[in-house]
Amino acid sequence: MWTHRSWQGRFLPHPLPAHERLRAYAGWCTAVEGNTTFYATPTRETVTSWARQTDPAFRFVLKLPKVVTHERRLAGADEDLRVFLDAIEPLGPRAHALWVQLPASFGHTDVPALARFLRGLPTDHRYAVEVRHPAFFDDARAARTLEGALDAVGAEWVPFDTTAFFRTPPTSDAERDAWSRKPRTPLRSRALTDRPIVRYLGRDDPARTVEGWQPWLDVMVGWLREGRSPTMFVHTPDNADAPDLARRFHDEVRARLPEVEPLPEPIPVGPSTLF
């Protein structure tokens, strides 16, 4: 997501043509979750526009289409996958990882299917898998089985940290909606590769979001000192302040590790003035 109604005029200039919104977002953050690709594969022309609006170092973490992961559960979807891979080709190095988000019903007995699927994927992409079945978090044997399948192909396990969100009852309409839809999975902070990816869900109150991400600061700094290159996505139920919060998290990491490069300067939202 690189556009949001509440961002217009705050983080993104308004009005702004659709084909320029990603460029404006890329002034705030250097990575984006490609969640829309879950619902529909974009055209090559659309993806070419994405590439034109971003630097080669910008990171897209693109979700595989739901027909592949949820409807066909990784089997018999070769043509859908081929169309998707062809469509995203213009991104080149910007395709940081292809994100295999699996349904909550995909459990430890399905790991062999995942292993076969991953082995059949092109090796010119990196892959990251997000699971939601409780067994992978409660059963050490199930976790080891999954890690083995991922290790075999150099794929990452993407944690979706909702622990801070579920710590206390919701207080807004957006939080109440997320309360019924988001997975309640235990905190996981182990990286399998040199490019770990973390998805973090805070609260609509920025102060509580910042409070909840404190453990991730230690994790991120540790990964960076080990030579890893992590990607952190910061969400809130309404996402109203997400770009600013993402930059704040980055600043807090840099305060501990000054050698981390700063984020770019955002495109000015309003007209420049002389005073």
Q: Which amino acid is at 177?
A: D
Tally the C-alpha atoms within 13 A of residue 52's C-alpha that lie toward its C-beta.
Answer: 9
| Structural contact between residues 51 and 94, judged by C-beta atoms closer than 8 angstroms | yes
3-state secondary structure of 213: coil
Residue 95 confidence (pLDDT): 98
Q: How much of the chain exceeds pLDDT 90, in percent?
A: 93
Residue 19 confidence (pLDDT): 87
Q: Which amino acid is at 65?
A: P
DSSP for 160-190? EE-TTGGGS---SHHHHHHHHHS--------
Residue 274 confidence (pLDDT): 44
Residue 267 confidence (pLDDT): 86
Give me the sheet containing 95-101, strands edge to edge. 31-34, 59-63, 95-101, 127-130, 156-157
CA distance 16 to 14: 5
CA distance 45 to 51: 10
Residue 3 confidence (pLDDT): 85
Residue 1 confidence (pLDDT): 80
Give me the sheet containing 197-201, strands edge to edge. 160-161, 197-201, 231-235
Q: Which residues of the chain have pLDDT under 70?
A: 270-275
Question: Which residue from 91, 95, 89, 93 is spatially nearest to 63, judged by alpha carbons?
Answer: 95
